[in-house]
Structure 1
Amino acid sequence: MTPKLILTGFMATGKSSVGPMVARRLGWEFVDVDHVIVARAGKPVARIFADHGEAHFRHLEREAVAHLTSDQRRCPHCHGPHPEVISTGGGALVDDSNCAALKRVGVIVCLTARPEVIAARVERSKTKRPKLTEGGKPTLERVKELMRERADAYARADVQVDSSDLTVEQLTDHVIAAFGAHAARRVLPPA
């Protein structure tokens, strides 16, 4: 089985909630790319956007992904590559180098949800979403716009799982099943 499960997808699709649960169930380490960026920058993502702009954030994101995907640690049990669940930010796959690096080390599972569900989740959340405030548009309109912009990037994921109508526990089950099925196909020799 591949050593890394990469969770990606649009904001408010469940990456931060389900990532730690998936990692716990698999007995793997969980790493959130945004947390790596925040630790390195010494400030929250919203502050990085406000102080330095999106281009600087994307540069930091590229560095974090490159660091995580070049990890040479070995699993103490099987001696293969160190197993991890890596959660990326919503725009990480837009960058070709991020996508290539992540595909090289694992299976990319893209979480999706209907725009209306995402807008409702975002409006209930206290988390600041810098990309949603651009243009001063209503939340649902901006969500749809960003989803259209990122559709091609998300289509590059190995598998997609819709979180719209699932509990976190159900989503965890679906993610692990989709990952397992894809990982098995990926490492099996052709018939």
Structure 2
Amino acid sequence: MTPKLILTGFMATGKSSVGPIVARRLGWEFVDVDTVVIARAGKPIAQIFADHGEARFRQLEREAVAQLTSDRRRCPHCHGPHPEVISTGGGVLVDESNCMALKRVGVIVCLTGRPEVIAARVERSKAKRPKLTEGGKPTLARVKELMDERADAYARADVQVDSSDLTVEQLADDVIGAFGVHAARRILPPA
């Protein structure tokens, strides 16, 4: 099976919530790219944006993706590549080098959601979301705008799973199922 399940998608689609559950169910390690970026920078993402701008954040994000996708550890059980679930930030696939690196090591599962569901989740959250405050627009309008900007990037994923109407446990089921189908296609010869 493919050694890495990569979760990506727009903010508030459930990547950070479902990632640890999926990893636990598979018996794999969970890694969050944003956590790696925060550790490298020594400050929260909102502070990186405020102090250094988006370009610096994206550079740190590229470095984190490069580090995670060049991992040469081996699985102690099957001796294949080290299996893990990697959760990425919402804009990671916009960068072509990130997309290529992630596709090389695993199956990219893009979590989606209806804009109004995402806007409601974001408004309930205490997390600071620097990209949403740009332009001073209402949350729903900014969500739709960003989703449109990133649509082509998200289309690069191997599979999409809509999280709008799912509990986190149902989402985990769907992610694992979609991953299994796409991972099998990558390793089976064409019929």
Q: Where on the TM-score scale, by shorter chain, does this alignment land: which range?
A: over 0.9
Report the residue type matching 1:163 in the other structure. S
Whole-angstrom CA distance in 1 between matches of 2:50 and 2:77 = 44
Residue 140 (structure 2) aligns with: 140
Whole-angstrom CA distance in 2 between matches of 1:146 and 1:34 = 19
1:46: Cα distance to partner? 0.4
Whole-angstrom CA distance in 1 between matches of 2:50 and 2:177 = 39
Counterparts of 1:46-125 in structure 2 under 5 Å?
Answer: 46-125=46-125
SS at match of 2:165: coil
Structure 2 segments unaligned to the other structure (5+ residues): none
TM-score, L = length of structure 2: 1.00
Report the residue type matching 2:48 in the other structure. I
Report the residue type matching 1:12 in the other structure. A
Whole-angstrom CA distance in 2 between matches of 1:84 and 1:49 = 28
Residue 163 (structure 2) aligns with: 163
Whole-angstrom CA distance in 2 between matches of 1:83 and 1:175 = 16
Residue 8 (structure 1) aligns with: 8
Residue 154 (structure 1) aligns with: 154
Structure 1 segments unaligned to the other structure (5+ residues): none
Whole-angstrom CA distance in 1 between matches of 2:115 and 2:186 = 31
Could you tell me the percent identity over the aligned residues? 88
Whole-angstrom CA distance in 1 between matches of 2:62 and 2:40 = 13
Deviations 1:143-162 (A, max 9, x none): 00000000000000000000
1:43: Cα distance to partner? 0.2
Deviations 1:133-175 (A, max 9, x none): 0000000000000000000000000000000000000000000
Whole-angstrom CA distance in 2 between matches of 1:129 and 1:41 = 17
Aligned-CA RMSD value: 0.3
Whole-angstrom CA distance in 1 between matches of 2:118 and 2:36 = 24
**How many residue pairs get matched?**
191
Whole-angstrom CA distance in 2 between matches of 1:37 and 1:156 = 23
1:77: Cα distance to partner? 0.2
Whole-angstrom CA distance in 2 between matches of 1:109 and 1:16 = 13
Deviations 1:68-111 (A, max 9, x none): 00000000000000000000000000000000000000000000
Matched, 1:176 2:176: yes
Residue 38 (structure 1) aligns with: 38
Whole-angstrom CA distance in 2 between matches of 1:167 and 1:83 = 25
1:190: Cα distance to partner? 1.3
TM-score, L = length of structure 1: 1.00
